[in-house]
Copies of this chain bind each other. A is one copy, B any other.
């Protein structure tokens, strides 16, 4: 049986409930973070906890656990659930508000689910662009209304995911950051008004292995002229983008630099798995 943590309690996952007065249910007010475990060990745990505490602080939410207490809860949950390859989500809500509007004592929910190790998608994914700016770009909030609302549009476009832009500057995918490789072999990812993903950060750090990698705003024109494109996320690591709005990127296969970065990233992940 799988367990879920609600505040300090371990509850059978299928019975894990929140009262309907929580501000997540009433007002969409909550933040979260999500990390993977491999071989029973967390990946980039310190980066994810850093961001979880940052998102909470930015959104005026108190975490009622010290970092050590939270880690102890995570370890205990991982021991109980015994899922070697998993995704763990920590959600922090606005709490049970008497008036349905004013922040109360936060509720924390920790869920763990098995993830399958998928075979590498060699062809990569197709994106459709859409004009949208996330309202709190710097915090990982639960606001995915636009992404879910756009699912029928995305399917009509024959796309696998969305790419948001704002005033023609590319932002991000709903659950991933976006990179291009220019004709000069520069690797660029948009600098501003995006969620700073953990894999994004690790890819930027690969600049010390000989790649030219920069945070720099990318226009839709830059995307049309790029040599390669890829997205980064905790679940996908690096995944090649082979079409945008029905137009091929490069020759429609995963590019050489994308593949080289993936190999380097795998080394970094191996070094950052564990407590």
Which positions in A face B, CB cutoff 8 Å?
4, 6, 14, 16-30, 32, 59-60, 89, 91, 93-94, 100-103, 109, 111, 132, 135-136, 141-149, 151-152
CA of A151 to CA of B102, assembled, Å: 8
30 interchain pairs, CB-CB under 8 A: A16-B19, A17-B18, A17-B20, A18-B18, A20-B91, A20-B109, A22-B25, A23-B148, A24-B25, A24-B28, A25-B25, A25-B91, A25-B93, A25-B142, A26-B32, A26-B91, A27-B144, A27-B147, A27-B148, A28-B28, A28-B29, A28-B142, A28-B143, A28-B145, A60-B151, A60-B152, A101-B147, A103-B148, A132-B135, A135-B135
What are the nearest 3 A-B pairs in CB distance?
Answer: A28-B28, A17-B17, A27-B144
CA of A100 to CA of B24, assembled, Å: 15
Closest to A58 in B: B149
B148 A136 Cβ-Cβ under 8 A: no
CA of A148 to CA of B109, assembled, Å: 21
User: Shortest Cβ distance from A126 into chain B, in angstroms?
Assistant: 18
